[in-house]
Structure 1
Amino acid sequence: MQPRNVSMSGVVDLAAVKAAGEAKQKAEQARADAAERGGSAAPSGLVIDVDEAGFEAEVLQRSAEVPVVIDFWAEWCEPCKQLGPVLERLAREYAGRFLLARVDVDQNQMLFQQFGVQGIPAVFAVVAGQALPLFQGAAPEAQIRETLDQLVQVSEQRFGITGLPYVPEDGAEGADGADAVRQGPPEPPEDPALTAAHDALDAGDLDAAVRAYKDVLAADPANTEARLGLGQAELLARVQGLDAQQVRKEAADRPADVDAQLRAADLDLAGGHVEDAFGRIVDTVRRTAGDDRERARLRLLDLFDVIGGDDPRVVTARSALARVLF
């Protein structure tokens, strides 16, 4: 089964808000079921091997309870052998805050193609049935930790998904004689201003969402979640009410019209055609000069914020932009 919205990404998916309520209900039900069983809701392991046949049950369904991090790898891939042990160790360290699913691309070509994987190792996440790319290649551990922390935070704040309780396999006991439950990284405190911004975006009040995200960034310019949210709110505000057919006709008829190209790029991105949107604006930067070129360049940077700086498509587009500028 193909995951929904796999082509539209970023730490917070544009379509993810639609699944938030359902995901939260499923997570609460899973915890209630575990409590009735009188035991832990922990999986048999925090690292699982997944194939195409088991993808829906082991990844899509479980993503309503715990963020699932997918590691696309192959036996012949040397960088995969460097990254894999790091991810497995972090899965144990985070202790149920995410589940690591390993996918052998040689044995699961359909999944490889559905996710649009360009090369391996490649790491994606699925949260509440929504797929998003995290990073590609054997990234430094510090970068991996930062990405996982963001994933855990967004899963909790946007979906109420806090992961599964995990009892260590060695049955370690605490000082009181009870089974020790490892909690993983501490839960970040809820930011009321960021919550208000998310609520406005969920309600479709885009003007209020933009103002709220800007307020958060004024106080905390490094807040990645607020920057992503602001990019999404501004994008949705720009495409609201546009006639897609007319916009695309104008862009085709007037290739030198910067405004026409930017409107078409916004529609491309909102529709999940990320590479098309980036390529259109890079071409516009190449063909223009002065204020028009600067306007196109700044819009491309805005769209990078919608997707997230670690996405490989953003990395590729940044390189293309640098080539046409310098």
Structure 2
Amino acid sequence: MAGAVDLSALKNRAEARNSAQSSAGTGSSAGDYSPIVEVTESNFQAEVVERSMQVPVVVDLWASWCQPCKQLSPVLEKLAREGGGTWVLAKIDVDANQRIAQLFGAQSIPTVIAIAGGQPVEAFAGAQPEEQIRQWINAILDAQRDQLPGIRAAEEGGGAESPEDPRFTEAEQALERGEYAAAEQAYQRILDAEPDNEQAKAALAQVRFTARAENADPAAISRAEENPDDVDAQLAAADAELAQQRVEEAFNRLIGTVKRTSGDERDRVREELLEMFGLFPDGDKRVADARRALASALF
């Protein structure tokens, strides 16, 4: 898909009662694993983002009035059941969850997006023949098998989910309550004990950005243009651009700010840019290009 999608920007905004119901009915531990899940904003983080760290999650954006959706959804459900836990089908009613549809930038429905490692990797729109969809899914599994441990585990009969880590559960529950500071502290404790825990690193970067993106003001971009030497304005504008999927613009803005600053201000901008890089999967060309540009700006 073109552009970046900040999946972590959709966090639980429902009341605590609804959050508890969602967690009870659609948790992602091994005991209640299902290859087909109904997803809303309240369980998006757990059922799409977190699950995609283990197996690909295929998001089906549909609506009750959409005739092609009625042809496509049963095919996806059939293939998900046949998949044996190697991937998960996440069904999202766009009428009831308009922010999710906006997040993905869906221009029409049905739209199907494959998520792996917390990021979109493939997508298609419109109803497709079953065999073509099967080949599409198999290609995703082949590409992600070495990155996502749940694929091989499911193929070998071990199930798609590893035992639930209580440390991550603590962080995820804080996210569901919208308590970003508590979630950040929980992920940081994991990293204090395991500095090389890549899942915790990625989750921490997502939480920190989400906390900022929740309050990202599109007007920050115009303010930054009017005040090029205001570091706070540039950082706020970069957050707003990234939240709008304007990835290269956000990166370039901060690289330009690095060039114009020094000392503590430069370090602050550099660290925030490096944190942004952590929101994207390994090998993302935009990150690689920005890293080279950053190195040039620093040296």
Q: Which residue is 1:258 aligned to?
A: 231
After superposing on structure 2, the runs of 4+ consecutive aligned residues of structure 1 that deviate more than 6 Å are 55-61
Distance 1:228 1:198, change over 3 A: same
* 8 Å contact kept, 1:125–1:131: no
Residue in 2 aligned with 1:133? 121
Residue identity matched to 2:231 = V
Deviations 1:144-170 (A, max 9, x none): 6542238x69xxxxxxxx97xx7xxxx
1:249 to 222, 233, 251: 222
Q: CA RMSD in A?
A: 4.6
Task: Kindly state the Cα deviation for residue 224 of structure 1 after the two structures are TM-superposed.
Answer: 1.8
Name the % identity. 33
Contact 1:97 1:184 in 2 (8 A): no
Question: Could you say which residue in structure 2 is the equivalent of 1:289?
Answer: 262
1:14 maps to amino acid: S
Q: CA deviation at 1:255?
A: 0.9
Q: CA deviation at 1:273?
A: 2.0
- 1:1-326 residue pairs with structure 2 within 5 A? 7-9=3-5, 13-15=7-9, 24=26, 28=34, 62=76, 97-98=86-87, 126-127=114-115, 132-133=120-121, 145-149=145-149, 182-183=156-157, 187-245=161-219, 247-326=220-299
3-state DSSP of counterpart to 2:163 = coil
SS of the residue corresponding to residue 291 of structure 1 reads helix
Alpha-carbon spacing, 1:205–1:225, altered in 2? closer, same or farther (3 Å): same
Confirm or deny: 8 A CA contact 1:217 1:226 kept in the other structure. yes
CA-CA distance at 1:202 after TM superposition? 2.4
Task: Measure the CA separation in 2 of the matches of 1:314 and 1:60.
Answer: 37
- Consecutive unaligned residues of structure 1, counting only runs of 5 or more, are 32-54, 68-93, 100-113, 116-123, 135-142, 154-161, 167-181
On the 8 A contact 1:200/1:209 being kept in 2, the answer is yes
Q: Is the alpha carbon distance of 1:29 and 1:274 closer, same or farther for their aligned partners in structure 2, counting shifts above 3 Å?
A: closer
Q: Which runs of 5+ in 2 are unaligned?
A: 13-18, 28-32, 38-67, 89-104, 107-111, 123-142
Q: CA deviation at 1:198?
A: 1.4
Q: Post-superposition shift, 1:59?
A: 9.0
- Tell me: CA distance 1:233–1:63, structure 2 relative to 1, closer, same or farther (3 Å): farther
> Which secondary structure state, in structure 2, belongs to the residue aligned with residue 231 of structure 1?
helix
Q: Could you say which structure has the larger radius of gyration? A: 1
State how many pairs are aligned: 216
State the Cα distance separating 1:186 from its structure 2 match. 7.3
Q: How far, CA to CA, are the matches of 2:260 and 2:173 in structure 1?
A: 40
1:218-239 Cα offsets, whole Å, 9 max, x none, are: 1122222211221122122234
Contact 2:191 2:200 in 1 (8 A): yes
SS in 2 for 1:97: coil
- The normalised TM-score by structure 1 is 0.52
| 1:56-79 CA-partner distances (Å, limit 9, x unpaired) | 776998489859xxxxxxxxxxxx
Per the TM alignment, residue 185 of structure 1 is displaced from its structure 2 partner at its CA by 7.6
Q: Is the 8 A contact 1:30 1:65 kept in 2?
A: no
